[in-house]
Amino acid sequence: MCVDVCRCVDVCRCVWDIDILYDYYKRNMSLTEEEAEALWRQADAKVYDNNDYEGGLKDAMKCLRAFENLENKKWQGDCFSVIGEAHYRLGNYQDALKYHHKDLEIALQLGDKGGEGRAYSNIGLAHNSLGNYQDALKYQHKDLEIALQLGDKGGEGRAYCNIGNAHIRLGNYQDALKYHHKYLEIA
């Protein structure tokens, strides 16, 4: 089997064994873990710092494929989170929910409480943007519970703020004020 031929897009036409082709592809077309981590940091920065949501989404999808090939669940969850956030910031709330739920699934599988809290918060924010305020409250309270368990003051403040915002949308101004005061006590 000729290596030059294997680099062609139509490689399947000249290869008798598809398993050999797949193994070759995985070895030669995948990013290393270090390259995938660097790409994830780039995607994260594009989404969170540079407002380049499309570019961040594209990079996050590439590193997700790399981490799937590397069978690294933790980083797959991190990729799902960035992909979900990019969709959220683009106004694609249903897509955001889909990817944040995938992030949550992995966090639960791994017992990653920090990742679980992050996913609950993001799912709650997407529900809030969709007008599903009761669902938003449910997920934000789960985030708060985890932040309290972990002693994560930043996560606790984030949850109080998000719960307060959902109460504002529901017209529960006294509850909103209570949670926003709790947020201010931490901030």
44 and 100 fall within a common domain: yes
The domain spanning residue 184 has which CATH number? 1.25.40.10
Q: What is the dihedral of CA 45, 184, 113, 149, to 10 degrees?
A: 160
Residue type at position 95: D
Q: What is the mean pLDDT of the chain?
A: 89
> What are the pLDDT digits (tens) for 125-157?
999 999 999 999 999 999 999 999 999 999 999
Question: Which of 111, 138, 167 lies at the terminal end of a domain, its last residue?
Answer: 111
Instruction: Please provide the size of the chain in residues.
Output: 187
Question: Which of 111, 140, 174 lies at the terminal end of a domain, its last residue?
Answer: 111
19 pLDDT band (50/70/90 cuts)?
low
Q: Cα separation of 116 and 107, whole Å?
A: 5
- What is the span of the domain harbouring residue 97? 32-111
126 located within any domain: yes
Return the pLDDT at 26: 52
In 3D space, the residue among 117, 183, 108 whose CA is nearest the CA of residue 150 turns out to be 117
105 and 41 fall within a common domain: yes
> What are the pLDDT digits (tens) for 70-123?
999 999 999 999 999 999 999 999 999 999 999 999 999 999 999 999 999 999
Q: Are 13 and 43 in contact (CB under 8 A)?
A: no
48 and 107 fall within a common domain: yes
Number of domains in the chain: 3
User: Which pTM value belongs to this model?
Assistant: 0.83
In 3D space, the residue among 180, 182, 184, 151 whose CA is nearest the CA of residue 167 turns out to be 180
DSSP codes joined into one string, the chain: --HHHHTSTTGGGT-S-HHHHHHHHHHHHSPPHHHHHHHHHHHHHHHHTS--HHHHHHHHHHHHHHHHHTT-HHHHHHHHHHHHHHHHHTT-HHHHHHHHHHHHHHHHHHT-HHHHHHHHHHHHHHHHHHT-HHHHHHHHHHHHHHHHHHT-HHHHHHHHHHHHHHHHHHT-HHHHHHHHHHHHHH-
Question: Which of 52, 79, 111 lies at the terminal end of a domain, its last residue?
Answer: 111
70 and 93 fall within a common domain: yes
158 located within any domain: yes
> What are the pLDDT digits (tens) for 39-78?
999 999 999 999 999 999 999 999 999 999 999 999 999 9
Query: Does 6 score more than 60 pLDDT?
Result: no
23 and 43 fall within a common domain: no
